Structure 1
């Protein structure tokens, strides 16, 4: 090989290693996800995850003879397509970095994944939100219901941390055992993984391109879903950690990453809404305040037990974590049944004053509303940095 050819190969390898030899800073992932969220809003609607998983459950039970909501086939509902391609993107990212393996947890952990997924499904439907739709996208949409939902998430996370610490101290064998890993890459092994990663990306891009002939919206949702999965996997972006770590290790990095993504999204969302590009009430749900606090608390407990929220479960499933596949199955089961049999009675029992759509700019204008959300985020920032230094609320 010529000297120039060797240099060219070395440069390409160096570029590859920049992206896949080690994880990206989590705050970089937050910013990139915020940019993608703005793109989704321009295309149609902001980022949400639980709706796609619910669509899978609805279609599954309808195939079994049930009579559940029909938002479209899994390959025609935008958020279903987004979630499928997100898993593919995370799968590709894990393959590129040789981090993919089928990981079978102990039975106790597998049960916690399933149980946590069931709770997340219940909480997402009752709260009309998840950590993405009701937090990461809800705050930029300037919805006060999203703030209340987040309070519920924090409460649920705190309760779950208390339970997990209790379990570790009182019943250490409940979730103990060996994790079985298959297809793990190592020294001299796994050279096939990056090759398969390129194949997965090509397939994902082909899927997105094929949608262009019938629906540009689905094409963009497919492409952005692939992008989201890759970014989440490489940056280890995790809303659960952002809310859990102040009560565990005290680390502020996950929270700062989520803040970065929310700030970027908020800039784009405010412009889009203020200029009338999309409706002002988009991603403002009728859950202020009772559904948000109840649903958020249930969801927060479930996601902490499972080890991932909806998106966290999706991208970790792409890495091969069977526990998070159990979590997804739990959500697929719980969401259709909750929507059909529990939510109607729950909402009917609430007066209108307890299930409002609360768009803050409608009350005080855009400028003051943005100021309120920035002030809340500043207080959050000051808290996590103070707690990181002092460990006042941390278990370790």
Structure 2
């Protein structure tokens, strides 16, 4: 594993060594000597692609699997990370700053937590001001180039059901924001009730941030997109291309723009990009042969999931199934499709197959004092 770590990640690791340990590392080989002399700084760009982390939809004493894209030529690219350090059952929500945002499944009121599967750190976030269940969650990473080990993000919670004054439940219109720098939640506005209903019932946790707006995909009747403009606390709705014909639809950010992936029943999977005037423009199709391989020849896109960031988009289903990856080729300015085998064996062990949520993150090996607060 150490021989496959990229230069800038090694430099970041070396920056946490004591002087005597750093001296030993520098004497190991010429490559490590050079790396130790160029220790990473907070402004160091991330030149390596993120890892794909496959987490169980619900975890309690299980494990997750991490795929290292630096060495994708063999099955040794997959690593198993135990999750037995999580004290409660959880569901993954999002990745930010090399950490994973989780939602508790052991308590009825909604609560978020955060963990680092590489350092086995875990921490609950404070409780919300308004007790609610099943809201939509959006996450924004602040200053992505900031030093690892420091929490620097905002989380937004919208919709959900709260307790009515006279008993029963109501659709909660208040929107709350958590800022990791002050470790508090605050109510920042409200939303139309009809939007709250759709975010509560028809929206998964995934969100995408692009150009000052948080977006969620909703699946009420036909697919549509809900947007929350943070600066103005205003809400908007966008249509989805051929929405009534899509078996799956997902949002990602690509090159700073909102991008939509969708698969049609018995047809192709296409990729659209949102342009001026909120007009969708198709920019790519999944190659037919790779699409059939991904679907097992069945021609059904139902159950497909997607995760992406600026330089990579991944289509996946479960842990053991293969993954379709569309990624930018470094220094060439073009995008290519790749096939990645599913996680069927790790160091001679065969992990059990299960439904997953995939996240993309850069491994964060720095212990955070805030995670243990």
Q: Say whether the fold is shared (TM-score over 0.5).
A: no
Which fold has the larger relative contact order, with Cα–Cα distance below 8 Å and residues 6 or more apart in sequence? 1
Which structure shows the bigger proportion of residues in strand conformation?
2
TM-score by length of structure 1 reads 0.21
